Amino acid sequence: MKNILSLSVLLILVSLSGFAQKIEIAPQYGYQIGSKYNFYGGYIKLTDSDQYGFSVSIPMNSDVQAEFFWVQQNAVVKVRDIIEYPEPTELTEVRVNHYQFAAIHTFGDSDEVVPFFGMSAGWSTFNPKEKTYNSTTKFTLGITGGIKYFFSDHIGFRLQTQLLMPIDWGGVYYSSGGGSGVNVGGTILQLNFSGGLIFAFGK
């Protein structure tokens, strides 16, 4: 359902390209740094993983863009708890999807080299492979920054780093529901680095 929604958003944005100066679509691939949430007596963490996704950007004025982006990572959840899991234990593989709407501010007067910085909000879904653990959806905030380099009016390259912050991420799918498992809550910091080609359409 979430993938269908993201595709629908993409199609809507593409349909608006006739009203915008330029629309940018950027498939991306990158690396997600592992993240950990510490609690009294232990921790829960997501391991490092690769990630992939895309962004769609539409200019609002000369230096501000509205952007939608989606990224997916496939990581492993590990836990250590002095009562339930005294040794670090792998619980399950998990597929994480991030969906964000952002306001991006670009800098400089160059049409070739374009630094940018932005803030975003949206949601993240956590879908464990093991059915013992529940899937969950969490509100997520984000910060992004990077640089675009355009080889021509319609082709470029984008390098960026993102900090994504799912809120209260651990309180649902780490409890098995049968009295065992770990049930905690908090905010993790997910830092990633990615890059990809930019395909620009319009003026």
**Topology (CATH) of 2-202:** Porin (2.40.160)
CA distances to 123, 161, 169, 183, 198 from 46, in Å: 17, 18, 11, 15, 30
Distance separating alpha carbons of residues 92 and 35, to the nearest angstrom: 15
Distance separating alpha carbons of residues 136 and 188, to the nearest angstrom: 15
Distance separating alpha carbons of residues 127 and 77, to the nearest angstrom: 11
Domain chopping of the chain, boundaries: 2-202
Distance separating alpha carbons of residues 181 and 92, to the nearest angstrom: 12
pLDDT digit string (tens) for the chain, length 203 residues: 555 455 555 555 555 544 546 899 999 999 999 887 777 777 778 889 999 999 999 998 889 999 999 999 998 887 777 766 667 777 788 899 999 999 999 998 888 999 999 999 999 998 888 877 778 888 899 999 999 999 998 999 999 999 998 876 544 334 444 444 444 455 678 899 999 999 998 76
pTM: 0.79
Rg of the chain taking only CA atoms, in angstroms:
19
